[in-house]
């Protein structure tokens, strides 16, 4: 998904794996939002980020190996993405400024986002293109590629609809890009990405717990792709109560991780054997099942009443040796002519900071 800490709106694009493929262009511009670039863009192929650009780096970058290979062999397309990134920044900036003035929004942060792209069913050959804009967290305007007319999602977008409907040359370009050109690109991307998109990595699954009274976390990491599920069950039935399920998150190596917590406070020890954690992945026949077993739970917790005996002995011996040294130094200075007795405050200062 787009690399942005602000999520404005989500356009759900139906994807039936593996026969339906998708190419998504996700563009976001902001005004008055700190700590993120004013413009962000991502290209996703089958929901995997393949390229990225923003107003800070001022260029387009492939994000996966197969796309780097494709761009190396097709440098004119990389140049197209770089130019498109720069053009889109100016267009989005001008559009936000226009909307802010028209809607009399003198203060605050504002977000403009466009989700567009195409889907291709490699079994039926069906192609569907789409373009949709959102503004400040709400749907704003969308293009009907069948009638080549814009549909205003709210009254404030009607003026924009009238202006954009009048630009017939732009509408014809949209139809060419989203019905013909982009689907052709998608087919080529799928060919290059075929081995990567069909790769399957199974995760390592662990049970984690902070303290004996804390929930038990079932954590799966290192899996690919992200079409997976992780859940707790009892006696073979999936649990929906006393569980807290996390989102699927990316790892730095391109794989994914997720976790789900189980509240064990009301589970009797003799009933633990009834529970297990299940990891499922689309296209993989066998599930990974991890039994709720105290012996396999990993934790860093140490009972507060337990303190290592070796550490106690070491501290006591160290203090005794330090005391003997200070006492010996005091006596030696007192017996030696020309030397004054050791100042206890000096000794204290020298040993007050062990570092």
Per-residue pLDDT of the chain (355 residues; tens, 9 = 90+): 334 433 333 333 333 344 689 999 999 999 888 888 999 999 999 888 999 999 999 899 999 888 999 999 999 999 999 999 999 999 999 999 999 999 988 788 999 999 999 999 988 899 999 999 999 999 999 999 999 999 999 999 999 999 999 999 999 999 999 999 999 999 999 988 887 667 789 999 999 999 988 999 999 999 988 889 999 999 999 999 999 999 999 888 778 999 999 999 999 999 999 999 999 998 888 999 999 999 999 998 777 654 454 444 444 445 444 444 444 433 333 433 433 333 333 333 333 333 3
In the chain, how many domains are there?
2
Looking at the structure, tell me whether residues 159 and 259 fall in a common domain. Answer: no
- 3-state SS, residue 256: strand
Residue 352 lies in a domain: no
- CATH number of the domain that residue 171 is part of: 3.30.500.10
pTM score of the predicted model:
0.57
Q: Clarify whether residues 118 and 155 are in a common domain.
A: yes
| Host domain of residue 261 | 204-298
Q: Are residues 193 and 232 in the same domain?
A: no
SS (H, E, C) 192-214: HHHHHHCCCECCEEEEECCCCCC
DSSP 273-342: GGEEEEEEETT-SSPEEEE--GGGEE-----TT---HHHHHHHHHHHHHHHHHHHHHHHHHHHSTT-PPP
> Is 304 inside any structural domain?
no
Q: Which of 153, 174, 197 is the last residue of a domain?
A: 197
């Amino acid at each position: 998904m787009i690399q942005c800490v602000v999520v404005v709106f989500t356009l759900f694009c139906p994807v039936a794996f593996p026969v339906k493929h998708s190419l998504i262009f996700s563009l976001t511009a902001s005004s008055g939002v700190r700590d993120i670039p004013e413009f962000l863009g991502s290209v996703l192929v089958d929901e995997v980020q393949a390229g990225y650009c923003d107003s800070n780096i001022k260029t387009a970058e492939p994000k996966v190996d197969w796309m780097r290979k494709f761009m190396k062999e097709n440098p004119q397309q990389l140049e197209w993405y770089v130019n498109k990134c720069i053009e889109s920044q100016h267009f989005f900036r001008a559009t936000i400024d226009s909307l802010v003035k028209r809607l009399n929004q003198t203060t605050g942060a504002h977000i403009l986002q466009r989700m567009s792209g195409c889907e291709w069913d490699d079994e039926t050959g069906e192609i569907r293109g789409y373009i949709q804009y959102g503004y400040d967290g709400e749907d704003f305007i969308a293009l009907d590629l069948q009638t080549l007319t814009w549909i205003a999602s709210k009254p404030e977008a009607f003026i924009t609809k009238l202006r954009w409907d009048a630009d017939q040359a732009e509408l014809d370009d949209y139809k060419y890009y989203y019905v013909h050109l982009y689907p052709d690109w998608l087919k080529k991307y799928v060919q290059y990405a075929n081995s990567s998109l069909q790769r399957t990595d199974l995760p390592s699954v662990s049970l984690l717990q902070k303290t004996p009274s804390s929930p038990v976390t079932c954590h799966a990491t290192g899996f690919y792709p992200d079409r997976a599920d992780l859940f707790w069950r009892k006696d073979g039935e999936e649990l929906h109560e006393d569980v807290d399920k996390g989102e699927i998150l990316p790892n730095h190596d391109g794989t994914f991780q997720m976790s789900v917590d189980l509240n064990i406070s009301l589970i009797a020890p003799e009933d633990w054997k009834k529970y297990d954690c299940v990891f499922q992945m689309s296209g993989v026949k066998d599930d990974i099942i991890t039994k709720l077993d105290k012996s396999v739970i990993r934790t860093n917790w140490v009972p507060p009443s337990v303190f290592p005996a070796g550490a106690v002995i070491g501290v006591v011996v160290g203090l005794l040796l330090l005391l003997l040294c200070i006492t010996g130094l005091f006596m030696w200075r007192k017996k030696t002519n020309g030397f004054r007795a050791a100042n206890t405050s000096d000794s204290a200062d020298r040993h007050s900071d062990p570092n």
